C-alpha cells in the first residue's frame, strides 16, 4: 500500500480489554490515510518474566498486526526509562506523525493522562499529533458490567464448555474471563482467540453453551459516568 500522505500511525497499548479498541481506532485512521501502523507496548520486566495474562494480550496484538499488511507490532521489554522517552524514541525511528494513547488506570500508564507525560511528549516530538482516547476501566455490554479480566480456560463437557481457572490436559481454549460485578457465580464474558478471530462469549454459572459473540463496543468509561 502506497503512503500517499507521508503519514505514519503509532498505537500505544497496555494489557487489558481496551487495547483492541485502541488498535481498531489506529487501523481505521491508518486505512483512511493509507499509512503504515505500528502497535507499541512497553514493560519494565523482561518478556520471559511476564505472566500468562500479559503474554495472552501480546499474542493477540501480534495476531492483529499480522492480519493487517501495513501493521507491525513492537515490544519494548525490560525498560526502566520513562514511558514518554520510549514512545518518542520509537516515533523518531519510525517517522511517526500521529500517536494514539489510551487513558487507563493500570500501572504506570496511568501517568499518560497527566500533563507531565503529555508535555514531555510534546517537547520530545513536537512534530507528532497526539490522540488521547478515553477507554474504560471495566467493560460493559447492554446487560451488565464486568470486572478486570483474569486468565481462564474452556474445557469441553458434552455439548457445552466448562470454565476453569487451571490449565488441564483437555483444555481446548484459553483466554480472559470478565466476571460480572455483584455476583457470587461465574457469570460474565470469556474472551479468546478462535481461528485468528477474537470472540467474546457469555458465561452462565461457569458454563458456555454456544460461541455467540457478544458485542463489547458499548464499553463504559467510568470517569465519564461519574461526571
pLDDT at 144 over 90: no
Determine the structural domain holding residue 176 and report its residue range: 150-208
Which pLDDT band, with edges at 50, 70 and 90, does 136 fall under?
Answer: low
Yes or no: say if 61 and 39 are a contact pair by the CB < 8 Å rule.
yes
DSSP per-residue codes, 40-52 = EEE-SS-GGG--H
Question: Within this chain, do residues 173 and 66 fall inside the same structural domain, yes or no?
Answer: no
**pLDDT, tens digit, 9 for 90 and up, residues 170-222:** 899 988 888 887 777 898 888 888 776 778 899 999 999 988 887 654 433 33
Q: From CA 1, how far away is CA 34, in angstroms rounded?
A: 7
Which pLDDT band, with edges at 50, 70 and 90, does 2 fall under?
Answer: low
Q: Which three cell numbers stand for residue 184?
A: 457470587
Question: Within this chain, do residues 25 and 110 fall inside the same structural domain, yes or no?
Answer: yes
Go through the chain and tell me how many residues it has. Answer: 227
Q: From CA 175, how far away is CA 213, in angstroms rounded?
A: 14
The angle subtended at Cα 119 by Cα 113 and Cα 125, nearest 5°, is: 115
Instruction: Give mean pLDDT, residues 11-33.
Output: 84
Percent of the chain surpassing pLDDT 90: 30
Which pLDDT band, with edges at 50, 70 and 90, does 102 fall under?
Answer: confident
Yes or no: say if 207 and 163 are a contact pair by the CB < 8 Å rule.
yes
Q: Which three cell numbers stand for residue 23?
A: 488498535
Q: Residue 50 in 3-state DSSP? A: coil
Count structural domains, the chain.
2
Question: Within this chain, do residues 175 and 125 fall inside the same structural domain, yes or no?
Answer: no
pLDDT at 129 over 80: yes
Q: Which three cell numbers stand for residue 91?
A: 516515533
The answer to whether residue 143 is domain-embedded is: no
The answer to whether residue 204 is domain-embedded is: yes
The last residue of a domain, from among 81, 106, 133: 133
Amino acid at each position: 500500500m502506497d503512503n500517499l500522505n507521508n503519514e505514519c500511525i503509532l498505537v500505544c497499548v497496555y494489557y487489558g480489554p481496551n487495547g483492541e479498541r485502541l488498535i481498531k481506532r489506529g487501523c481505521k485512521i491508518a486505512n483512511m490515510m493509507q499509512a503504515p501502523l505500528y502497535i507499541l507496548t512497553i514493560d519494565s520486566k523482561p518478556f520471559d518474566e511476564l505472566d500468562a495474562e500479559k503474554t495472552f494480550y501480546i499474542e493477540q496484538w501480534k495476531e492483529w498486526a499480522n492480519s493487517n499488511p501495513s501493521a507491525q507490532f513492537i515490544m519494548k521489554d525490560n525498560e526502566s526509562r520513562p514511558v514518554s522517552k520510549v514512545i518518542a524514541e520509537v516515533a523518531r525511528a519510525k517517522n511517526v506523525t500521529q500517536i494514539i494513547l489510551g487513558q487507563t488506570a493500570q500501572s504506570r500508564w496511568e501517568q499518560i493522562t497527566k500533563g507531565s507525560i503529555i508535555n514531555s511528549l510534546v517537547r520530545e516530538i513536537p512534530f507528532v499529533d497526539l490522540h488521547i482516547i478515553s477507554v474504560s476501566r471495566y467493560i460493559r455490554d447492554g446487560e451488565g458490567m464486568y470486572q478486570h479480566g483474569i486468565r481462564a480456560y474452556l474445557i469441553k463437557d458434552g455439548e457445552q464448555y466448562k470454565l476453569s481457572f487451571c490449565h488441564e490436559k483437555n483444555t481446548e481454549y484459553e483466554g480472559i474471563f470478565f466476571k460480572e460485578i455483584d455476583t457470587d457465580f461465574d457469570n460474565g464474558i470469556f474472551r479468546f482467540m478462535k481461528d485468528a478471530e477474537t470472540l467474546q462469549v457469555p458465561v452462565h454459572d461457569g458454563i458456555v453453551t454456544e460461541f455467540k459473540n457478544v458485542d463489547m463496543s458499548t464499553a463504559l468509561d467510568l470517569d465519564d459516568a461519574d461526571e
